[in-house]
Chains A and B, each alone.
Chain A
Amino acid sequence: MTRHQLQILSLVLVGVVSFGLPLVLRSPTYLHILILLYLYAYLTSSWNLVGGFAGVLPLGHAAFVGIGAYTSTILSLQYGLSPWIGMIVGGILAVLVGILIGLPTFKMRGAYFALATIAFGEGIRVMVENIDYIGPLKLNGPRGLEIPPLKTGLTHFMFAGKEPYYYIILVMLILVITITYLISQSKLGYYLNAGGEEPEAAMALGVNVVRCKLIALAMSSFLTALAGTFWAQFTLFIHPKSVISLDMSFEIAFIALIGGRGSIAGPVLGALLLRPVSDFSRIYFGDKLPGLHLIIFGVVLILVMLYQPRGLQEPLTRAYNRLLDRLTGARAEQALGRSRA
């Protein structure tokens, strides 16, 4: 088998396992944990388009989750629109807000950019908490919105069991990973990386750095908002503290930094590692030490930054490549031996 075939084989294996899991894993609790894991892998991959490739550190992405969640929920509760349509509308709205935020902030560097995005994210949360109505649209302030589980089925984006949600978020995750891969191989990917690493050099080589970052942010906010609709339909209850929380914005950044910013596998690996920490520390220590998971994230982040500054994807990718070498090398030697004999 060639190296390429082995790579495809391992991808297919991962695919088969992730699609087959619900058939084996019948516990709703574990399915729930997996759905959240994929959701965070999806959110972090979307974040990575701008936070990883473009070399800035946005810390307000929960605002886009909130825009997606509120838009589709309001449209379906008040106007009977399918959440799938609301999902797209929410995505478009998030793009507009993203560009409005990006225009002034992309001229800032480092910590200034990060702080500005925190301010925007928190600003949007506080606004939603204090607004009951925007014209005819009911936001319901801090009480949030409940989605009554009246009609189930694909068109209503509502299901009795967890399996359909599992498959929807899995497909969304595969889509965002594919998009990330395609961008990384395109001119835009090269330009984003260049502009993130050395903006002046990039500009001298023909890169309009701010424009590229805005394109990346537009895509990122669109994709992030889609996850908001998913979240709303999955939990059937949204309020500002759940879908526009700073906690969520931070967790996304933690996952990205620990898994490996700017890589394709990083967000998924980060979510695989950190989501269980989040879930189990909430299950076992939720009432005694409610912030424990964030402290564990902090410690893990320090360790990773000390020993693997480019995230855990780097040693893992190296190990994977070595395994492929071993497998293909062994086979090549075997073939050689046979031809000699």
Chain B
Amino acid sequence: MKILEVNNLSKDFGGLRAVDNLSLAMEQGEILGLIGPNGAGKSTAFNCIAGVYPPTEGTIRFCEERINNRKPWDLCKQGLARTFQIVKPFSSKTVLYNVMVGSFANTDRKSTARDKALDVLDFLHLADKRDLPAGSMTIADRKRLEIGRALATEPKLILLDEVMAGLRPTEVDEMVDIIRKVRDSGISVFLIEHIMRAIMALSDRLAVIHFGKKIAEGAPKDVAADENVIKAYLGDEYVVS
């Protein structure tokens, strides 16, 4: 089954076309990577899929259902979760509180929400930090918390927007492991990432956008060797070994 199908999606901001006629499809259980230079329209594409912006043109299907004008909170309850590139923790609240907000998506009972949140924190090795205020954590832990809250909503598909940006190499490795574990638990993963080493290792398939347009798609190795991609995006900034 196709978990996500984006057809001819465009999004305008005033005169600027941030996403331009983008089409993508994802199988259930897949890890799809999305790369492109800064300002290419990656986050905007995520925001359209997650219901933050209504698309200017095109259709978005989630679990074979058209979701074009659905609200973020309804999409979340249907199983579409996302993280934010700029993390948005509930800073004055504890880590556990933050994750419980997510787990309330599937229950009205506080004890059930708490149990679910504790499971997620265990899964992310954050259990010992559960009583710290979220605002006091390191950037690596905040990125992890961002994923934790999203996982607590029990999604079918998770959109991860640059969850490795700002991390040290060892922390990147840990994050790669976490994302693999997320996929192994049956959740499809759509991720935006700048760290090539990580995204090449993780993605089953990779798509590249430039000025809002898709310029390549396929197996990571093929995409990295694609002439258009090297010209438009990789240049000599990234050397793929």
Contacts and interface: CB of A to CB of B under 8 A. Distances in A.
Contact of B104 (A191, A204, A208, A209): A191
Contacts of A204: 50, 72-73, 76, 81-82, 84, 150
B88 interface: yes
A266 to B, nearest CB: 14
A187 B108 contact: yes
Interface string B189-229: 00000000000000000000000000000000000000000
B178 interface: no
B105 A205 contact: yes
A327 interface: no
A85 to B, nearest CB: 33
Interface stretch (A2-10, A13-21, A192-200, A273-281): A192-200
Contacts of B84: 200-201, 204
A206 B82 contact: no
Interface string B93-114: 1000100111011011010010
Nearest to A199: B88
B88 A205 contact: no
A56 B107 CA distance: 26
27 contacts: A185-B110, A186-B110, A190-B97, A190-B104, A190-B113, A194-B93, A194-B101, A197-B91, A197-B93, A200-B84, A201-B84, A201-B88, A201-B149, A202-B101, A203-B52, A203-B71, A203-B76, A204-B50, A204-B76, A204-B82, A204-B84, A205-B73, A205-B76, A205-B105, A206-B76, A208-B73, A209-B73
Interface in A266-315: 310
Nearest to B87: A201
Contacts of B153: 205-206
Size bin of chain A's contact surface: 20 to 34
Interface of A: 185-187, 190-191, 193-194, 197-198, 200-209, 310
Contacts of A203: 52, 71-73, 76
Interface of B: 50, 52, 71-73, 76-77, 81-82, 84, 88-93, 97, 100-102, 104-105, 107-108, 110, 113, 149-150, 152-153
Contacts of A209: 73
Given A185-B110, A186-B110, A205 B91 contact: no
A43 B220 CA distance: 62
A205 B150 contact: yes
* 4 interchain residue pairs of minimum CB distance: A206-B105, A201-B88, A206-B76, A203-B72
A198 B89 contact: yes
Nearest to B82: A204
B101 A205 contact: yes
Contacts of A310: 92
A185 B107 CA distance: 14
A202 B105 CA distance: 11
B73 A187 contact: no
Contacts of A201: 84, 88-90, 149
A106 to B, nearest CB: 15
A292 B107 CA distance: 50
A198 B135 CA distance: 12
Contacts of B90: 193-194, 197-198, 201-202
A204 B49 CA distance: 12
Contacts of A208: 71, 73
Nearest to A201: B88
A200 B107 CA distance: 21
B79 to A, nearest CB: 11
A73 B93 CA distance: 43
A206 B108 contact: no
A229 B89 CA distance: 41
A212 B81 CA distance: 20
A177 B77 CA distance: 32
Contact of A206 (B88, B93, B102): B102
Given A205-B150, A205-B153, A208-B73, A200 B88 contact: yes
A322 to B, nearest CB: 18
A11 B72 CA distance: 42
B159 to A, nearest CB: 9
A185 B109 CA distance: 10
Nearest to A189: B110
B88 A198 contact: yes
B90, B92, B105, B113: residue with the most chain A Cβ atoms closer than 10 Å:
B90
Given A187-B108, A190-B100, A206 B77 contact: yes
Contact of B102 (A185, A186, A193, A205): A205
| Residue from B77, B101, B105 with most neighbouring chain A CB atoms (10 Å) | B101
B191 to A, nearest CB: 16
A207 B93 contact: no
A21 to B, nearest CB: 35
A27 B227 CA distance: 91
Contacts of A198: 88-90
Given A187-B113, A198-B89, 9 more contacts: A187-B108, A190-B101, A190-B113, A194-B101, A201-B84, A203-B71, A204-B73, A205-B152, A206-B77
